[in-house]
Amino acid sequence: MAETTLHPDAIRDLVEGRHGDPFAALGPHATPAGQVVRTLLPGARSVEVVTRGGARPLEKIHPAGLFEGPLAEQPYLLRIDWNGVVQETEDPYAFPPLLGEMDIYLLAEGTHQDIGRCLGAHPVTLEGVRGVRFALWAPNARRASVVGDFNGWDGRRHPMRRRIEAGIWEIFIPRVMPGAIYKFELLDPNGSMLPLKADPVAWQAEPAPATGSVVADTANIRPPKPLVPQGDPARQPMAVYEVHAGSWMHGDGNAPLSWEELGDKLIPYVKGMGFTHVEFLPIMVHPFGGSWGYQPLGQFAPQADFGPPEHFSRLVERFHEAGIGVILDWVPAHFPTDAHGLARFDGTALYEHADPREGFHHDWNTYIYNLGRREVRNFLLGSAIHWLEHYGVDALRVDAVASMLYRDYSRPHDQWVPNIHGGRENLESISFLQELSRIIEQRCPGKLLIAEESTAFPGVTRKADEGGLGFDFKWNMGWMHDTLHYMEDDPVFRQYHHGSMTFGLVYAFSERFMLPLSHDEVVHGKGSLIGKMPGDDWQKFANLRAYLSFMWTHPGKKLLFMGGEIAQRREWSHDRSLDWHLLDEPRHAGLQRLVRDLNRLYAEMPALHVLDTDAAGFRWVVLDDAQNSVFAFLRQAPEGGVPALVVVNMTPVTRSGYRLGVPSAGGWREVFNSDAAIYGGANHGNGGMVHAAAEPSHGLDASLALELPALSTLVLVPAGS
């Protein structure tokens, strides 16, 4: 072998793939004998260095494929003979450090708000050369390499430069193009090889079950046109259609629809049904479809099964063009243990807590993010901003907030670690959520944060600067569970559980609430919404019509999981489409029409939405008629607007001449009746109009006598309004 000034230990470490500072050995270097270039190309037969002055062969200084030779001038190319196949390319080790000093400083500080543009894989042009810049946070790795289909998955080919001050590894690989598949090969602190790791900040990934990252054409993923703002969201109608992208509808060959096909079918459906927003169960990259996306590994990439990232971006824009907002479920609480993911990423507990009492969820068999570590917070904050800015989504629904807020969440008394004050509150998570809300308010004004939070933790929707968590809305899980349990009761016994329907109003204005009938209520043996209703088939449909109508007229924004609007009979499965054929049956089609009309009524009547979060917008009329299971209340509009009287009869008995108070005498129009024949009901009611006499009742100046159809909800407004 030819002589070299490279130390034998350095040669050994290079060819064994253990060199922690490859730029100190590879590429152009000054030596006592002059400028030389070194390159490690295992499997190459020969290498020439090509400059404007011509080509000159390099000498093989180690049989593993380490070459060295004089370098007369720069720039230069490497001409590589791969046993008869010749490749010409620039030398990755000829390029200077890539990330700027400010990027490195902010990454080290944990305050870089655009790490999606900084870390990961990005096609760039450096010194006139096209290629991909790779950057990775792995501070405890002894060596990090990019491996992929462009280098034979050989970690010796492209070991990265370490920016030690931030724990970042980086390299520019010339002539790699978008579409290339790659991972990272890491040595842990002890020098042992880890399983190949997917890029935590990849913008694109292979379709499952493959686990590679894909170089995305990030320049083509442009933020879509924003949704035109409508004002204070608390005073606007908000009816959300919750969707699992893979099972809403299947296409040819019973395959899930692509992003483009979803745009063709889902957007007109959501628009036609009158929903204001669509909410997707997590569409971030997840290895197991049965998690429905709630165990994500790719916090910056859409699931590849439905098409490339730019198609998802276009889907968001198409929703916006239709006037529909897009909400994404987002999971910063935990992540799965898959070896190719974040788990012990650099051989240490990097993203997760080291102590399993803090870092492992036994309920879900997942790791818990260490939100006390600034770089981990930065990673998740960067993910949130990425979806809101680069993909232009309008809101994030943060999953499993309750599990984040309490250190003893679902843990035995001796299996959790108290906070620094000895309490059970997770101070790091609270601080993270407050920081998240502040950053979104500053950088993404008009974007919303919605909490899935199932406890009575105070101030979830209070601003962070006022001591709250800073969410815009909170799912009202208590209302959902109480009212569903009531509806599951046989009507004979509902009189004994009357408070389950009224208790929600005790605290309805303590937070800004959203009323959810979510996917969680139609899985794991819970059946379907229609399946929860008691009685024969007629009563089941009547119950569900009355219940949905009660929900739409109750204070709070609305959310309904797909299939609920067509009375899907089977429990939801992520593996199959909704049963759209049910709409051939009149009762199913009638329920769908009822939801469509409820959305229209809700949007058109200010009394049903403007004061959703204000106690001034609600007044009980009949609260305590448990014996008849009747409820009546007024929804009131601001500035003396038109009120709406809502009357609910939750027994299968028609009640005639039921008298209750109203604010004014005169005619009252029946503008909605869940028992109407067009919805599949018996068409009992009040003929569209009823007269209120100046006879005080229930603390109001006038009263009227109503026909209350069995299992029904009525809405009336003053005539002339």
Q: How far apart are CA 434 and CA 445, in angstroms?
A: 15
Tell me which H or E stretch contains 499: helix 499-502
Rounded Cα distance, 181 and 334, in Å:
26
User: Which residues contact residue 147 at a Cβ distance below 8 angstroms, ignoring those fewer than 6 apart?
Assistant: 153, 154, 155, 157, 158, 182, 183, 184, 185, 196
Please name the residues in contact with 533: beta carbons below 8 A apart, sequence gap of 6 or more: 487, 488, 539, 540, 541, 543, 544, 547
Q: How far apart are CA 211 and CA 301, in angstroms?
A: 12
Rounded distance between C-alpha atoms, residue 529 and residue 568, angstroms: 8
Look up 597 and say whether it is catalytic.
no
Say which of 68, 261, 375, 452 is annotated catalytic.
452
516 beta partners: 559
Q: Does 472 qualify as catalytic in the annotation?
A: no
Nearest residue to 488 via CA among 524, 537, 540: 540
Could you say which of 170, 399, 472, 521 is catalytic? 399
CB-CB contact of 165 with 108 (8 Å): yes
Distance of alpha carbon 8 from alpha carbon 262, whole angstroms: 59
Whole-angstrom distance, CA of residue 712 vs CA of residue 333:
41
Q: Tell me the C-alpha distance between 692 and 716, whole Å.
A: 11
CA atoms within 13 A on the CB side of 529: 27
In 3D, which of 715, 702, 693 has the Cα closest to residue 631? Answer: 715
Quick one: DSSP state of residue 584? G
Q: Which residues are designated catalytic?
A: 399, 452
